[in-house]
Structure 1
Amino acid sequence: MSAEAARAAEILTQLAVPERLTAFAELTRRGKEGVTLAELAYAMDKPVQEVGTILARLVGVGVATGTGNGVYRVKPGELREVAQAVDKAQPLAPLLAEYPALRGFFAHGRLTSLPPTQSERYPLVGELLTRYLALDGLCDEDTLNKRLAVVTDDVAAVRRMLVETGWLERDRAGTTYGPVTERPVTGAAG
């Protein structure tokens, strides 16, 4: 895991605690004005000491700042950096950069929807996913499903699309998949 990904994981872990996320949301709502410890304690209906501990965690991971006059502010740029680090860590990220026309079908490195079947982008998604899979021989359906699950929730639809677009071949029993001997021509990746 890269240092960026580890930092992203730490920030997301800290924000996964409901009280910390609530405090972060209130800091975000207050914007540049910020909020004092007492004001935040009142807004959250929590004791000042407990809110102080929550803020210390947020400041510690770098998503908030505290000043000498006791005003706390959010650092929203940190979350942008976290999101970018998470996106970069996705296995499809380097390949997706070569297919800018497909970005709308992906969110954070995961396929969220398929283009219409008659669209010229439909086979491009097949090409991209085939490059990601990098199959050099036959594999069973379970193995293929596990590899596709890393980048999509609907593995059955994607597996079917890869066969329909001619990027994968399936045996007659429908249990073994492999790369086609002659790949379809899709044109430019962009």
Structure 2
Amino acid sequence: MDQLLAALADPERLKLYARIVLQDLPPREEDSAAARKHLGRLISAGLVERLPDGSLEADPAVFRRARPAEPAQSGVPRRLTGFFAQGRLTSIPVRPVVRRELLEHLTETLFTADRSYTEREVNEAFRTVHDDTSALRRYCVENGLLVRERDGSSYRRATAVTV
């Protein structure tokens, strides 16, 4: 459902979609670069289909088939839910404040404060939510959320998280 709404979020794309639904699209109007770009987005979202004869058709049933957005992840702060899909982190936030909040959430949920972890264990824990374990590990160390021993033999969660 989110993909459908995102595809219709652009006013020009929405107008193009409406014209296709109403079958009010003059022949070859979709030839401009902007129209091709918008049309590509509508097609990839499943809102529009190009028929074998080259014409365009909008299928309103796509809205009935769409699943509603997944509920907020339990335990994930509301501000971070957009970075998760099906329990996995889809991207690491670029903004430092938001990234810090995400890292705090991950270290609090993946690691206990009174235990040391090998690098392999840290990677395995991070891999449960995202494939770029080295970036997550590095960000956590840089932000003081995970403390790495000088010889690199182990990591532990920082005892006090400061915001």
Q: TM-score normalized by structure 1?
A: 0.47
Instruction: Please state if 1:95 is matched with 2:75.
Output: yes
Query: In the superposition, relative to structure 1, how do residues 113 and 31 fare at CA in structure 2: closer, same or farther (>3 Å)?
Result: closer
Runs of 4+ in 1 over 3 A off after TM superposition: 29-32
Structure 2: how far apart are the matches of 1:152 and 1:172?
26
Q: CA shift at 1:30, angstroms?
A: 8.4
Select 2:109's aligned residue among 106, 122, 132: 132
* Structure 2 SS opposite 1:120: helix
How many residues matched?
Answer: 106
Select 2:122's aligned residue among 140, 144, 149: 144
Instruction: Please state if 1:180 is matched with 2:158.
Output: yes
Structure 2: how far apart are the matches of 1:175 and 1:112?
29
Q: CA shift at 1:164, angstroms?
A: 1.1
Structure 1: how far apart are the matches of 2:65 and 2:120?
41
Instruction: Please state if 1:107 is matched with 2:85.
Output: yes
Show structure 1 runs of 5+ residues with no match.
1-28, 33-74, 186-190
Structure 2: how far apart are the matches of 1:119 and 1:182?
19
Deviations, residues 102-146 of structure 1 (Å, cap 9, x unaligned): 223222221122222x53112101111012213231010111111
Query: In the superposition, relative to structure 1, how do residues 112 and 30 fare at CA in structure 2: closer, same or farther (>3 Å)?
Result: closer
Structure 2: how far apart are the matches of 1:31 and 1:139?
51
Whose helix proportion is higher, 1 or 2?
Answer: 1
Structure 1: how far apart are the matches of 2:90 and 2:109?
16
Structure 2: how far apart are the matches of 1:150 and 1:100?
20
Show structure 2 runs of 5+ residues with no match.
1-58
* Structure 2 SS opposite 1:156: helix
Structure 1: how far apart are the matches of 2:137 and 2:157?
12
Q: TM-score normalized by structure 2?
A: 0.54
Query: In the superposition, relative to structure 1, how do residues 123 and 31 fare at CA in structure 2: closer, same or farther (>3 Å)?
Result: closer
Structure 2: how far apart are the matches of 1:152 and 1:164?
18
1:65 matched to which residue of 2?
none
Structure 1: how far apart are the matches of 2:80 and 2:128?
18
Identical residues among aligned pairs (%): 35
* Structure 1 SS opposite 2:103: helix
